[in-house]
Structure 1
Amino acid sequence: MKQIKEKIRSFPSSPGIYFFKDKAGKVLYVGKANNLRARVRQYFMRSGNRHPKTEALVRESARVSFKLCESEVDALIAEARFIKKYAPKYNVILRDDKNYFFVAISKEAYSRISLTHQPDMFGSSTSKHIIGPFTDGGALKETLRLLRGAYPYCTCKPGTKRACLNYHLGRCLAPCVHPKACAQTKRNVQAIVAILEGKRNALMRALTARMKRASRAEEFQKASEFKKQIDGIQNIFSHRFFLERFREIKQAKPQWSVVEKKIQLLLKTKKTVGRVECYDISNISGTHAVGSMVVFGNGEPSKNQYRKFKIKYSGDTPDDPKMMAEVLARRIKHSEWPMPDLIIVDGGKTQLSAAQSVLPKTQLVMGLAKKQEELYTPVRPLPILAKNLGKETLFFVQRIRDEAHRFAITYHRKLRGKIR
């Protein structure tokens, strides 16, 4: 025991996985950690609250080793791989009544991805691939969310007849309603499977080779798509403590005072920012166009104050900026509604200019563009990358923007359904 404690002192304070082994070298337990030294040291601290099964693990262990990982996402994936490889007895015992998470890949033409606690229920008739086990459900879900940004995939049930909200958010290619998207969705799922099985480096090499071939053949659009996928993977795995920051945000809601100060700094104002309204436009080639207004008070949604607008614009071509200007002009006329401290429009410089053309000069306003996640303000000549706003402000602006988009899409679908 003393030798193990001495060895732990030399463990790095880095992400990785650790192994408890018996005298014969058999693996008893595999775990992951964001800080290897701190996590493994906890097992050997004196505590009356330690679980009897943890006590048994420590008594039976003769040595402890580790394997470094580049990030916590890497550690999550490596842990699942080694649990599957060694099937350590204490990984089963210490779970108690909790279940591991598994990723199931369906057999449809476009391969859906879903999570399950019971892989045995996914027989060969419904699932062609099961990946796992994963011990941290929250980290796994966030990793899949990030991967979906680089590799959009489908989660809709078979028989779906309309494109889902994820399609409009760029997280799905809607193969369930657009058969031509099946092939690309299948390739995206194959890439995600490779990453979750620890074959990221091989995938990166393959993507780099394809990008170079496309570039030599002067297929620059295709090369750009491969580059986007490579960048997406690098972004996910380059941040060592990304999942830790994600959990901090989820577990503790951002303090509004922090977000408010950041907004005041961005807009170069000392005005109080409490009521924030966000606007989005939804239409298909200009038809059934609608606008949404969602309201947040001190960082929290006030759903009873949400409003919907059936857009009257009837130009020959779709014009989102003009539609946005119409919605805001109509909103300002409602003097019976509390006036906003800040207005956020979904869109970039053009939408921001359209908003400014109808709003009072004193109204604080900014635009958030989806494609590059850039924030546009009237007081700065260049946009600001949303990722540079700080985690609290980033979480807020993305949350209110996505809520406005959800509300607009829901109303648009409802209106379109009635007309049919």
Structure 2
Amino acid sequence: MPDSSTVLTYRPAPGTIPVTPGVYRFFDPAGKVIYVGKAKNLRSRLSSYFADPLTLHPRTFQMVTTAARVEWAVVNTEVEALQLEYAWIKEFDPRFNVRYRDDKTYPYLAVTLDEEYPRLLVLREAKRKGVRYFGPYSHAWAIRETLDLLLRVFPARTCSKGVFARARKIDRPCLLGYIGKCAAPCVGRVSADEHRQIVNDFCDFMAGNTDPLLRKVEREMNEAAEELEFERAARLRDDLTALRKAMEKQAVVFDEATDADVVAFAEDPLQAAVQVFHVRDGRVRGQRGWIVEKVEDLDPGALVHSFCTQVYGDGGDPPREVLVPELPSDAPALAAWLSGLRGSKVQLKIPQRGDKRAFLETVTRNAEQALAQHKLRRAGDLSLRGKALEELTDALSLDTSPLRIECYDVSQLQGTDVVASMVVFEDGVARKSEYRRFIIRGATDDLSAMSEVLRRRFAQRGDKAGPAGDGTVEELAVGPARKGFAYPPQLVVVDGGAPQVGAAAETLAGMGVTDVAVCGLAKRLEEVWLPDDEYPVILPRTSEGLYLLQRLRDEAHRFAITFHRERRSKRMTASALDTIPGLGEIRKKALLKRFGSLRKLAAASLVEISEVPGIGPRTAEAVLASLAGAESNPTTVTSDPGGAETPGEGAGDTGGSRTGDEGGA
């Protein structure tokens, strides 16, 4: 845990650090570069790393305490700093920098215009001069499908140099030449100029200049039909269908002049999902995505900076526009650097309205779904779940693997509508049928609320619901006989630090529960606290055990806050008027509109109430009687407007059974 007494012996004297732009490197004891960063003001930036450790982000603290020394290089401008930062990240591959790593390279549709007989092919290699690229595409099969459709209209060469040379030698084309999907320049069916014209027409079509070609093919088809050349007309009809199908595969989102990459992020404290959609000539040509580990506490602007430097610096082709959700602090320098890579102006912008803003929101939804799918895949991996349980067993010094873990959280608003939640994970997987919700009365703070919840939960060990743990509330059975808990947990997790863990451990010890381990997960630094320990357990950032605890904590928090909002909403909408038989919504609204509040309504006379349209003397008497009863018994709980008993709530003030997850994971 970050400790205010931690002294970083390699900290340079503040006066020795220049105030000019520059790039700095942190080294570990072995001399390996572990982090590279740039700064507009080196002194200001580096001083932030050597502030009070308690104020540092835990990942930043881990980095500066892992390092053994720091060095820097001074440059003249921010653009130079950006260039040097990129070069050093590329050279040293520091482990504490955000890394955009693909599990694959993304393919392009390439046209080798530098050859005498240009060919069409799929390429994943770095771009080179003399080759025109379309893409990137998500999958190579998407390119091959498009090519298969278009070769009947643009029968350009697709064979390798060896196949082409062999066909020229034996004077016999390959299969594509026989079926009409290659003009066969290898055997002289078309000249080099004629073949290049076919390739140029193909490039025009892929670049979005489609309307002239469609009109030409349709006109030729109609002419062939009029001249009774039905076979030729049928072939042209099929060509027209193929062109339209190829166009459907490339959705038009903007006007033809738009050349942009639309970038969006979805993040949590440990990782971020990045999605980029490539729009060329107004059409979506491809999409890429990454899941990156956040070593620092990076905001979206910092993620944009790292994205641009790594993705475009590694041979990427910056478009005219890069549309992002937030501009980095060095946006002008970054745009200038990208312009240098492209050879013309590149704009870094936040779309404010219109189609571009709507499309950015679409890309953001894709990023959110990608992050959710990544978490689900990680949670569903049996080997990772086993590794997580093993790590928790070792880190918390447990006797056995915690196959059943229960996590508790309390939710309240300044002492009102205090509720608590219990979520259950068995073998690393959520067991939603075992979730419980508790209504808390009389608790003064989170600690007393947590103690009450644990007393009520562990008073039920066994198949039958036992008496309430605090002796002041009565357990409410839901249904004919509420199910008890299958078996006690091996580990109880509470949302909080040392105070919450101490209260939970004291409660369980007072009840004689000695076979259940207790720990807490504090939000700010993600450290794990154990009872009576002076310092927390620090799990590595990439630990599967920490990831499991975070999922438990976040699920308990979500479940508690959802229940709290439900309770608060019911309290705010319920009134004494709800209990009056025959008084519907229209007449209730009429009463409140006439008098303004329940207090003024209660002070009104029988005659005044009867004057409200739709309210007769008998209804007026019922209204006054109900309001008088509510004043004499202010703790009366009105009925649930839904008319159904909700598991976990009711006059008995208990946690009821939980058979489903209303809020969604």
1:323 to 438, 446, 449: 449
Report the AA paired with residue 293 of structure 1: M
User: CA–CA distance in 2 between the matches of 1:334 and 1:243?
Assistant: 35
User: CA–CA distance in 2 between the matches of 1:266 and 1:332?
Assistant: 25
1:404 aligns with 2:556: yes
Q: Alpha carbons of 1:267 and 1:245: their partners in 2 closer, same or farther (altered >3 Å)? A: same
User: CA–CA distance in 2 between the matches of 1:298 and 1:377?
Assistant: 22
**How far apart are 1:342 and its partner, in Å?**
0.8
- Alpha-carbon deviations, 1:77-128, whole Å to 9, x = none? xxxxxxxx977999x95995999997799xxxxxxxxx999x9xxxxxxxxx
**How far apart are 1:364 and its partner, in Å?**
0.8
Kindly indicate whether the alpha-carbon contact (under 8 Å) linking 1:267 and 1:379 is maintained by their aligned counterparts in 2: no
Query: In structure 1, what is the equivalent of residue 492 of structure 2?
Result: 343
Kindly indicate whether the alpha-carbon contact (under 8 Å) linking 1:347 and 1:369 is maintained by their aligned counterparts in 2: yes
User: CA–CA distance in 2 between the matches of 1:274 and 1:97?
Assistant: 49
1:352 aligns with 2:458: no
**How far apart are 1:340 and its partner, in Å?**
1.0
Higher-Rg member (1/2) = 2
**How far apart are 1:278 and its partner, in Å?**
0.6
User: CA–CA distance in 2 between the matches of 1:88 and 1:299?
Assistant: 54
Query: In structure 1, what is the equivalent of residue 111 of structure 2?
Result: 22
User: CA–CA distance in 1 between the matches of 2:535 and 2:252?
Assistant: 49
- Alpha-carbon deviations, 1:292-316, whole Å to 9, x = none? 011111112222211111112343x
Give percent identity, aligned residues only: 27
**How far apart are 1:192 and its partner, in Å?**
8.0
User: CA–CA distance in 2 between the matches of 1:131 and 1:346?
Assistant: 48
1:311 to 427, 440, 465: 440
- Please list every run of 5 or more consecutive structure 1 residues that lacks an aligned counterpart in the other structure: 1-12, 33-38, 44-49, 64-84, 106-114, 120-129, 152-187, 209-241
SS class of match (1:294): strand
Q: Alpha carbons of 1:314 and 1:262: their partners in 2 closer, same or farther (altered >3 Å)? A: closer
SS class of match (1:295): strand
Report the AA paired with residue 376 of structure 1: W
- Alpha-carbon deviations, 1:272-301, whole Å to 9, x = none? 421110101101112111110111111122
SS class of match (1:335): coil
**How far apart are 1:321 and its partner, in Å?**
2.2
User: CA–CA distance in 1 between the matches of 2:276 and 2:323?
Assistant: 20
1:373 to 512, 522, 526: 526
User: CA–CA distance in 1 between the matches of 2:420 and 2:504?
Assistant: 13
User: CA–CA distance in 1 between the matches of 2:264 and 2:374?
Assistant: 27
User: CA–CA distance in 2 between the matches of 1:88 and 1:250?
Assistant: 47
User: CA–CA distance in 1 between the matches of 2:111 and 2:283?
Assistant: 27
User: CA–CA distance in 2 between the matches of 1:367 and 1:99?
Assistant: 51
Within 5 Å, which residues of 2 pair with 1:134-149? 135-136=287-288, 139=289
User: CA–CA distance in 2 between the matches of 1:54 and 1:31?
Assistant: 13
Within 5 Å, which residues of 2 pair with 1:127-138? 135-136=287-288
User: CA–CA distance in 2 between the matches of 1:193 and 1:297?
Assistant: 39
Query: In structure 1, what is the equivalent of residue 582 of structure 2?
Result: none
SS class of match (1:388): coil
**How far apart are 1:28 and its partner, in Å?**
2.7
Report the AA paired with residue 566 of structure 2: K
Kindly indicate whether the alpha-carbon contact (under 8 Å) linking 1:374 and 1:385 is maintained by their aligned counterparts in 2: yes
Kindly indicate whether the alpha-carbon contact (under 8 Å) linking 2:528 and 2:537 is maintained by their aligned counterparts in 1: yes
Q: Alpha carbons of 1:300 and 1:251: their partners in 2 closer, same or farther (altered >3 Å)? A: closer
Within 5 Å, which residues of 2 pair with 1:9-408? 15=102, 19-24=108-113, 25-31=131-137, 51-53=144-146, 60=158, 93=246, 96=249, 135-136=287-288, 139=289, 197=322, 203-205=328-330, 249=378, 252=381, 255-315=384-444, 319-336=445-462, 337=485, 338-359=487-508, 360-378=513-531, 381-385=534-538, 387-388=540-541, 390=543, 392-408=544-560
Report the AA paired with residue 418 of structure 1: K
Q: Alpha carbons of 1:246 and 1:255: their partners in 2 closer, same or farther (altered >3 Å)? A: closer
SS class of match (1:203): coil
**How far apart are 1:384 and its partner, in Å?**
3.8
Q: Alpha carbons of 1:62 and 1:289: their partners in 2 closer, same or farther (altered >3 Å)? A: farther
Kindly indicate whether the alpha-carbon contact (under 8 Å) linking 1:275 and 1:342 is maintained by their aligned counterparts in 2: yes
Q: Alpha carbons of 1:207 and 1:135: their partners in 2 closer, same or farther (altered >3 Å)? A: closer
- Alpha-carbon deviations, 1:189-228, whole Å to 9, x = none? x8888878377997143699xxxxxxxxxxxxxxxxxxxx
User: CA–CA distance in 2 between the matches of 1:193 and 1:363?
Assistant: 45
Q: Number of paired residues? A: 272
Kindly indicate whether the alpha-carbon contact (under 8 Å) linking 1:289 and 1:311 is maintained by their aligned counterparts in 2: yes
Q: Alpha carbons of 1:250 and 1:310: their partners in 2 closer, same or farther (altered >3 Å)? A: closer
- Alpha-carbon deviations, 1:132-160, whole Å to 9, x = none? 77624xx47x67x98xx855xxxxxxxxx
State TM-score, norm by structure 1: 0.50
Query: In structure 1, what is the equivalent of residue 63 of structure 2?
Result: none
Kindly indicate whether the alpha-carbon contact (under 8 Å) linking 2:490 and 2:515 is maintained by their aligned counterparts in 1: no
User: CA–CA distance in 2 between the matches of 1:376 and 1:418?
Assistant: 36
Runs of 4+ residues over 4 Å off in structure 1: 13-20, 50-63, 85-90, 92-105, 130-134, 190-196, 198-202, 242-248
* RMSD between aligned residues: 5.2
Kindly indicate whether the alpha-carbon contact (under 8 Å) linking 1:276 and 1:295 is maintained by their aligned counterparts in 2: yes
SS class of match (2:136): strand
User: CA–CA distance in 1 between the matches of 2:378 and 2:328?
Assistant: 31
Higher RCO structure, 1 or 2 (CA under 8 Å, sep 6+): 1
Kindly indicate whether the alpha-carbon contact (under 8 Å) linking 1:279 and 1:291 is maintained by their aligned counterparts in 2: yes
**How far apart are 1:23 and its partner, in Å?**
2.3
- Please list every run of 5 or more consecutive structure 2 residues that lacks an aligned counterpart in the other structure: 1-99, 114-130, 162-205, 211-242, 254-260, 266-274, 309-321, 334-370, 463-484, 573-665
Kindly indicate whether the alpha-carbon contact (under 8 Å) linking 1:324 and 1:354 is maintained by their aligned counterparts in 2: yes
SS class of match (2:515): coil
Q: Which has the higher helix share?
A: 1
Query: In structure 2, what is the equivalent of residue 70 of structure 1?
Result: none
User: CA–CA distance in 1 between the matches of 2:568 and 2:326?
Assistant: 46
User: CA–CA distance in 1 between the matches of 2:566 and 2:458?
Assistant: 25
Q: Alpha carbons of 1:206 and 1:410: their partners in 2 closer, same or farther (altered >3 Å)? A: same
Q: Alpha carbons of 1:371 and 1:345: their partners in 2 closer, same or farther (altered >3 Å)? A: same
User: CA–CA distance in 2 between the matches of 1:325 and 1:88?
Assistant: 71
Q: Alpha carbons of 1:245 and 1:405: their partners in 2 closer, same or farther (altered >3 Å)? A: closer
**How far apart are 1:247 and its partner, in Å?**
8.5
